[in-house]
Structure 1
Amino acid sequence: MGLWYTANGFGIALGGLLGFGIGHIRGALASWKYEFLIIGALCCIWGIVMYIFLPDSPITAKGLSMRERRIAVERLRENQTGVENKHFKWYQVRELFMDIKLYLFFLLGVVGNVPNGGISNFGTIIIKGFGFSTLVTTLMQIPYGLIIAISILSCVFLNDYMSRKGRQTRCWFILLYLCPNIAGAFGLRFLAADNKAGRLVSYYLTGPYNAAFVMILSMTTANTAGHSKKVVQNACLFLGYCTGNIIGPFFYKTEQAPEYPLGIWSMIVSHLIEVVLVLVLRFHLARENKRRDKIQSQMEGGLEGRDLDATAFSDMTGEYIASADDELC
């Protein structure tokens, strides 16, 4: 998931380069219209490629042999989250709406993307306020995109390294990669207007929040069992994602350009709320794991005697089975 999401960073970097080139087009249309036409056409072409070649499941992947398909599916056995199920199960949805994780992930989607909704729309204007020309601001997005990609890659690989040592640290990595964003937002708000280098660095520090969001995405997958429950959980998270991106730009008032103090404060407050929500989520997941382990330790066979093979692909939810991991968060 992290590798896939790095495309967000590389896309911003490549988009800055394309934007600079497209900005030099002199034709019958405004340059920004050419950008929509060119990049929109590339997206349409790639959409056709994806439709033809991207399988929707390991089971239907044409490029894999039967043995390789079985291996791909077997990888899902241990985490007990199941595989795709075409039958929508309403009891799983009812169960989900009684689960506090749904609302925590939704709120994390909102507060994690209020800053994104603002900085993605007004980032170039903020950079222009440092004294750069319109075209140069597009080039200044290249380092920003690369910082995002590097942040995501370093975050997921460090988390993977820790998980191989038996430590579940996703929540801590979310908090760690929120620190640069909080520092950057405070820099944008309080550094003097003539400190252009410091303010530019502060702007670049707002990029690593993408790594934190990738960790949140991975947590919904790892902590939700049952296909119907999982797809609704993901939908609610992305509903929060969209809500945050809608809300964000409203804090950037035209009369406050280019410093946008209200917009920068929205970033600071949102990230601080996100820190609190992540700590609450970790506490809840740790407590829930202990509760389930206690129940299962009293069952026949205990924790070590659980028959994971019997439940791995039965599309059961977390109310009935516990993860093989000692701690999901």
Structure 2
Amino acid sequence: MLIGHITSSQPAWIYIFLIFGAISLAWGILFLAFMPDLPSTARFLNERERIVAVERVATNRQGVKNHHFKAYQMWQCLRDPKTWILFVMSIGAQIPSAAHYSFMSIVSGNVAGYTKKQLTGAFVYVGCYIGNIIGPQTFIETEAPFYTSAYIAILIGYSVETLMVIVLYLYMWSVNRKRDREAAVYGSGLSAEREKEAIERGMQDVTELDKKGFRYVL
């Protein structure tokens, strides 16, 4: 590799971070400058294509990006069991390994409302950072080479993560079942109307707790 042939007073590994870090920074700036944050503002789409793109986003019942902070969504986030389950999952998973990207996909698919989604994601990241802080502390130098405390911490971390995955699944499954039972009361003749209502409410930046037509992805 060419980086390994760089002659300098600095160690070669430093240039890996400098070069690839600079490339990532430059790409991030370009991406931020030219990529739209909403289908309706995409400059490379014509008016009809923008409408089609917004309609496709609407079908996931989560709406589009909204920059307005909504206090009621903050309180919903704090009262929502999913928030704290994901928080504990992040801590448990991050002690032995890096797994927060998996949890962010859960947030993306099962949390609606721009403010609530951002705050839930923040809880996941905070949990990851707490796990990152705890993990290295379990490797006690005097316990080398077996590091008993670290092994115990890893086992506890994975056990907590597994338990929280089960709890989260059961919670979302039970909510889906409850909403299916409630929807059945209206009869199958109104299913299309309720589907349309769920999509329209999604475009109004409301949370999954407010939208009875929302179903969690299991």
TM-score by length of 1: 0.58
Separation of aligned partners in 2, 1:88 and 1:75? 24
- 2:198 is aligned with 1:311: no
| Distance change (3 Å), C-alpha of 1:80 and 1:276 | same
Please tell me the root mean square deviation across aligned C-alpha atoms, in Å: 2.6
Quick one: which of 89, 94, 97 aligns to 1:108? 89
Q: Does 1:321 align with 2:208?
A: no
Q: Does 1:73 align with 2:80?
A: no
The correspondence of residues 283-298 of structure 1 with structure 2, limited to 5 A, is: 283-298=170-185
| 2:14 paired residue number | 33
The 5-angstrom pairing of residues 170-319 of structure 1 reads 210=99, 213-256=100-143, 260-299=147-186, 303=191, 305-306=193-194, 307-308=196-197, 309-319=199-209
Report sequence identity in percent.
32
Distance 1:253 1:31 in 2: 30
Pairs aligned (count)? 215
Is the partner of 1:112 in helix, strand or coil? helix
Name stretches of at least 5 consecutive residues in structure 1 with no aligned partner: 1-17, 118-209
| 1:49 correspondence with 2:30 | yes
Contact 1:252 1:263 in 2 (8 A): yes
| 1:133-181 Cα deviation digits (max 9, x unpaired) | xxxxxxxxxxxxxxxxxxxxxxxxxxxxxxxxxxxxxxxxxxxxxxxxx
Instruction: Say which structure, 1 or 2, has more relative contact order (CA 8 Å, 6+ apart).
Output: 1
Letter in 1 for 2:174: R
Q: Aligned letter for 1:242?
A: Y
Structure 2 residues without counterparts, runs of 5 or longer: none
Q: Is the 8 A contact 1:113 1:248 kept in 2?
A: yes
CA–CA separation in structure 2 for the residues paired with 1:253 and 1:323: 51
Is structure 2 residue 71 aligned with structure 1 residue 90?
yes
Q: Deviations over 1:26-81 (max 9, x none)?
A: 42122333333323322332233223222222222222222332222222222211
TM-score normalised to structure 2 length: 0.83
Secondary structure of the 2:57 match is coil
How far apart, CA to CA, are the structure 2 residues paired with 1:258 and 1:274?
26
- Cross-structure match for 1:62: 43
Question: Secondary structure at the residue paired with 2:96?
Answer: helix
Higher mean displacement: 101-110 or 57-66: 57-66
Distance 1:288 1:259 in 2: 45
> Matched residues in 2 for 1:68 and 1:255: separation?
64
